[in-house]
Structure formats: structure tokens, C-alpha cells
């Protein structure tokens, strides 16, 4: 006897080609799932995948096909549905879809305006791994191409004029270091470690830009791939990972999520004041040194860690006072007559306002909060 709780081939389920979920209940069963998987709205396709396994082998085949969907979100949903299954064809599909990439389950958090975590969302990040010898590895996260608004709107707290005008930038796919370059990685390639705060898994710091470039050159020679510093646009795009809030986890930041100066500071009898909090978020602590990479366990949607705080990260771009005439294709903005170089991300000794996704800094020397993260183009493919 058929199980009355199991849907049949032509049972009425959510289907159709309506862009809204509520308006799509027109075609049932496996045919409805197939039709929804052709919908241009990725949310509709995701909902269809979540129902597909109700229809046996045919539904399983549809979920497997979702691994090659054009949408990052749909691919992730397919992976989560399949990741705990043991069928041979599922394992083969997951392995072939990796194409030299390691898929890793991560957790992305969202905070409210008070800094309280209000959502924990499972995600999938994709990495390939470079072997730097002697057990030292470098993980590179796959960053899908896309379009985003670079800079910050006028009404955002802490915004400076150099973050305007907001402008649309198209970024091609690339790979970026999962973490800032560590001291062990730097030692493996350069044979030295300039850092003040020693620790093999802490980010390398006190690195001048030309040393960061030299690291990329040596890494390129070793691997046969092209490694370089990120453009400023690539860095902000990767940091935001599809978000538009000041920080990739929301409207504010806390020292439970990142390493920065979370205490107030003032000089000259209160003439100059800096706040250890941002918006309505809480104040925190001041650790006065770097932390090991990834120690907060907080990734963004692309699987990148420590994008806010810990060390300032060198970019390729020379400093410009604003975005007037900035390139819109994600490339670096260079001027050979300028000596100051863009840095992003804030650091262990800077206040939260400097750790925002849109915040820009500049330097031309090497300090104990200067580090970097590498980018690779044209390596493994997603």
C-alpha cells in the first residue's frame, strides 16, 4: 500500500514558473519540481531542490544537477542536501564537481545593531591548497565574480569623503587567501620573519609593501600560478561577500568577533576622541597584539576570515583621495607618481570605525599592524 504521507508523481505541490513562491502552486509532483528548477529566481530553484528528494531517484538526480547551477546559493544548497548521503553516484558527483577544490562547511553569523548574534547560517566555502613544503599549507578561497556598490553611502556613521562616490564595480572571479599570510607561510617563502608578535599561525606583520610583492613573486615562481596583491575593489568585494552593511556580519562589530581596539581613547584633554564601539554596538577589550588567524571562527559568505581587524592588508592600488574616475572593472588604480599605497581592513590597534568594509587607509612604510593577503587568478576553476 502506498504511504499517504509520501507525495505521488502528480500530487499538487508548489510548482509553476511564477517569480513568487506563493504564486507558483500550479503544477505538482516531479514535473513541478523540474519546472521550478528552470525559474530565473534562485530562491524558487532552492525551494524546488529542498522538495526534490521526495521523488526518489529522479529527485536525487535533480539535486545532483544543482551542483552545476549558475547560482552560488543553489550550488551550496545542493551540496548541503547531498553532503551526508552515501550513494556512489552522489560521492562521484561531489568529487567531480570539486575540480581540485575542497568544499568546507562554515558558519556565517549575523548580528543586530546592538552586536547580538541573531542568526547562524551554515554555508559552503571552496578552497584549493598550495603546499609550501615542510607541512606549511596556503588555503585559497574561491571568490565568484559579480557586481557590487563600492564605497559607503553618505548617511553611514564614520564615513569619510575618500569613500565616495559610491559606484558600481564589476569584478571577475578570483581566489583569495582564506586568512592573512601567516608567519609560517612567510618564513617558508622568504626565509625570514619580521613580525613583532611571534607565532607561526599569527599573521605576519611589519611587512612593507615591496616585501609583500616579493612574497607573491616567489610564490608565483614556486607554483607556476600568478599570485599578487588584491586590487582595492577586489578586496572590498571579497570582504563584503554580498553584504551592504558596514561589516560583513551586520551593522556593528564586537571584540568577540574581531581583533581591534574596543576601548575609548582620548588625548589633549579630550580634544581628540576615538570610540571603542560602532553605532549602538558594545565597547569591548583591547588585546594590544595580533591573534592567530581564524581564531574567532567567523567567516563571511565566501569563507574568508579576519577581514575586519587583526592586521591592515596591503592592496595594489596607489592612494587617491576619492573614487572620482576610479576604474569600474575591478582592476587596480595605479599612479606611478604616488608613493602611498592603499590598505584595508583595520587592525588590532585601530578603532572599529577603521575596520568597516568601506574604510580606506594608506601607508608607505612597515608597522607592526601591516600584513597582507594574496590573490590568485586563473588557478583552479569552480
pLDDT in tens, 180-193: 999 999 999 999 99
pLDDT tens string 25-83: 445 789 999 999 999 998 899 999 989 989 999 999 999 999 888 887 788 788 878 87
Contact of 259 with 286, CB cutoff 8 Å: no
Alpha-carbon distances, residue 218 vs 37, 185, 191, 228, 343 (angstroms) = 46, 12, 11, 10, 22
- Give long-range contacts, CB 8 A cutoff, 24+ apart: 116-125: 122/80, 123/76, 123/299, 123/301, 123/303, 124/75, 124/76, 124/79, 124/80, 125/178, 125/299, 125/302, 125/303
First to last CA, the chain: 45
pLDDT, greater one: 68 or 110: 110
At residue 382, does pLDDT exceed 60? no
User: Can you give the C-alpha Rg of the chain in angstroms?
Assistant: 23
Q: What is the pLDDT of residue 74?
A: 84
Cβ–Cβ < 8 Å for 114, 280: yes
Q: Facing residues of 148 across strands?
A: 169
Query: Residue 39 in contact with residue 54, Cβ under 8 Å?
Result: no
Segment 368-378, tens digit of pLDDT: 999 999 999 75
Angstrom distance (rounded) from CA 350 to CA 258: 12
- State the helix-helix crossing angle for 56-65 and 29-36, rounded to 10 degrees: 0
**Which band of pLDDT confidence, cut at 50, 70 and 90, is reported for residue 100?**
low
6 has a pLDDT exceeding 50: no
Of 279, 319, 327, give the one whose Cα is nearest residue 150.
Answer: 327
Phi/psi of residue 43, each to 5°?
Answer: -65, -35
Q: How far is CA 80 from CA 58, 75, 119, 297, in A?
A: 18, 9, 18, 20
Do residues 243 and 301 lie in contact, with contact meaning Cβ atoms separated by under 8 Å?
yes
Q: Which of 17-26, 214-223, 246-255, 307-316 has the lowest mean pLDDT?
A: 17-26
- pLDDT interval class at 146 (50, 70, 90): very high
Amino acid at each position: 500500500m502506498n504511504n499517504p504521507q509520501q507525495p505521488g508523481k502528480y500530487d499538487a505541490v508548489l510548482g509553476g514558473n511564477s517569480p513568487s513562491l506563493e504564486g507558483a502552486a500550479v503544477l505538482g509532483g516531479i514535473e513541478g519540481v523540474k519546472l521550478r528548477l528552470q525559474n530565473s529566481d534562485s530562491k524558487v530553484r532552492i525551494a524546488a531542490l529542498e522538495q526534490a528528494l521526495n521523488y526518489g531517484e529522479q529527485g536525487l538526480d535533480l539535486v545532483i544537477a544543482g551542483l552545476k547551477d549558475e547560482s552560488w546559493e543553489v550550488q551550496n544548497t545542493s551540496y548541503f542536501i547531498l553532503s551526508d548521503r552515501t550513494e556512489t553516484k552522489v560521492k562521484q558527483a561531489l568529487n567531480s564537481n570539486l575540480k581540485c577544490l575542497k568544499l568546507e562547511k562554515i558558519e556565517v553569523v549575523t548580528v543586530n545593531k546592538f552586536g547580538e548574534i541573531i542568526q547562524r547560517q551554515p554555508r559552503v566555502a571552496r578552497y584549493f591548497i598550495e603546499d609550501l613544503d615542510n607541512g606549511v599549507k596556503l588555503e585559497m578561497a574561491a571568490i565568484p565574480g559579480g557586481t557590487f556598490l563600492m564605497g559607503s553611502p553618505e548617511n553611514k556613521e564614520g564615513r569619510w569623503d575618500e569613500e565616495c562616490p559610491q559606484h558600481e564595480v564589476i569584478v571577475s572571479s578570483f581566489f583569495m587567501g582564506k586568512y592573512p599570510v601567516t608567519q609560517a607561510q612567510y618564513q617558508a617563502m622568504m626565509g625570514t620573519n619580521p613580525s613583532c608578535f611571534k607565532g607561526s599561525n599569527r599573521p605576519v606583520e611589519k611587512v612593507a609593501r615591496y616585501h609583500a610583492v616579493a612574497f607573491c613573486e616567489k610564490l608565483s615562481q614556486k607554483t607556476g600560478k600568478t599570485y599578487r596583491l588584491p586590487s582595492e575593489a577586489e578586496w572590498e568585494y571579497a570582504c563584503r561577500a554580498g553584504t551592504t552593511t558596514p561589516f560583513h556580519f551586520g551593522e556593528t562589530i564586537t571584540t568577540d568577533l574581531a581583533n581591534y581596539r574596543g576601548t575609548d581613547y582620548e588625548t589633549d584633554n579630550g580634544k581628540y576622541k576615538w570610540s571603542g564601539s560602532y553605532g549602538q554596538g558594545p565597547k569591548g577589550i583591547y588585546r594590544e597584539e595580533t591573534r592567530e588567524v581564524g581564531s574567532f571562527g567567523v567567516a563571511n559568505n565566501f569563507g574568508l576570515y579576519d577581514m575586519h581587524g587583526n592586521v591592515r592588508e596591503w592592496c595594489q592600488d596607489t592612494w587617491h583621495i576619492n573614487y572620482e574616475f576610479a576604474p569600474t572593472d575591478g582592476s587596480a588604480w595605479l599612479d606611478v607618481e604616488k608613493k602611498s599605497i592603499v590598505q584595508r581592513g583595520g587592525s588590532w590597534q585601530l578603532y572599529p570605525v577603521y575596520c568597516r568594509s568601506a574604510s580606506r587607509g594608506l601607508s608607505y612604510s612597515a608597522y607592526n599592524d601591516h600584513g597582507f593577503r594574496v590573490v590568485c587568478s586563473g588557478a583552479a576553476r569552480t
